[in-house]
Amino acid sequence: MSYRIQRRIWIQSGAAAAGLTFTARPELLGIGRCRADEPTLAEQLSLTASMTEGPFYPDKLPIDTDNDLLIVNDAITPAVGEITHLAGRVLSRSGNPVRNAFVEIWQVDSQGAYLHSQSSNREKRDSNFQGYGRFLTDSQGRYYFRTVKPVPYPGRTPHIHVAVSRGDKRVLTTQAFIKGHPGNETDGLVRRLNPQDRKTVMVDFQPIADSPNGALQANFDIVLGKTAFEDDGGNLRGVGPRQS
């Protein structure tokens, strides 16, 4: 099955692989749904804060790099952890959806281990957790991953690394954090962010009503800078320089 076909299936079925019957409709996970408190296009959205990639981007990508991190290839045993449906949209600052944006995520497993040869706790790594996934946004800028809720490890509060590229250009590297987690207040990278930037990377991890397995949903919209995607009129254009 091609990557493009996989992407289409996941957009259509959403979290159905987790046994959630409503997820054939991505808008029910909050993807692409308009809310009364959203800014109008004229108001301009706040840019998602750029953050460091960190040292644990996989040094050897897994064979399976799809957007379901709970199952590796055709394995029967899923990864251990709180099932989380991470979804959202990639948008320009004026609110236009960015289609065909290449979204990558990577994170620790339930043991606090990355998919990296130098990760701490690597000897305890959950071999059933993919550790890395990627997704190409659709015409509405939507992306979707099934993963586990991140856990803390020494020196860091729970987080998910996120990178966005267009073509062969990395245009944003950031991290998504659990809103309200006590570890945020002592995390060195979080503390460096000003209050406005901090808001852009805090994500609510909310229980999904009637989920048979206690799954969570986490909606994270990613807003990219004008220099990369827009002209002065807010129209999307080519890729700009990489942000680090």
DSSP per residue over 43-82, as a string? G-PPPPPP----S-S-SS--S--SSBTTS-TT-SSPPSS-
Identify whether 235 is part of a domain.
no
Domain that holds residue 187: 3-229
Among positive and negative, which fits the CA dihedral 151, 176, 162, 29? positive
Query: 240 lies in a domain?
Result: no
Task: Please report which confidence band the pLDDT of residue 44 belongs to, taking 50, 70 and 90 as the band edges.
Answer: confident
The secondary structure element, H or E, covering residue 108 is none
pLDDT band at 102 (very low <50, low <70, confident <90, very high): very high
Q: What is the CATH number of the domain that holds 159?
A: 2.60.130.10
Q: Which of 96, 68, 55 is nearest to 231 (CA)?
A: 96
Contact (CB, 8 A) for 13 and 23: yes
- 129 inside domain: yes
Residues 138-183: pLDDT tens digits? 999 999 999 999 999 999 999 999 999 998 899 999 999 999 999 9
* CB 164, CB 177: distance < 8 Å: no
**Can you give the pLDDT at residue 31?**
52
The residue among 72, 56, 71, 140 whose CA lies nearest residue 104 is 56
| Residue of 15, 11, 27, 49 whose CA lies nearest to 173 | 49
Q: CA 130, CA 58: separation in Å to the nearest integer? A: 11
Report how many domains make up the chain: 1
Which residues lie closer than 8 Å to 61 by C-beta, 6 or more apart?
Answer: 132
The identity of residue 240, as a single letter, is G
Quote the mean pLDDT of the chain. Answer: 83
* Residue 243 within any structural domain of the chain: no
Residue 236 has pLDDT above 80, yes or no: no
Cβ pair 21, 29 in contact under 8 A? no
In a domain, 138, yes or no: yes
Residue-wise pLDDT for 197-207, tens only, equals: 999 999 999 99
Q: Which DSSP state fits 228?
A: H
Pair 173, 50: CB distance under 8 Å: yes
238: in domain: no
**pLDDT at residue 38, as a whole number:** 52
User: Mean per-residue pLDDT for 51-76?
Assistant: 94
Alpha carbon distances (Å) from 197 to 193, 194, 201, 240, 242: 6, 5, 7, 21, 19
Burial of residue 58 (number of CB atoms within 10 Å: 0-12, 13-18, 19+) = middle
Residue 191 CB: number of other CB atoms within 10 A?
10
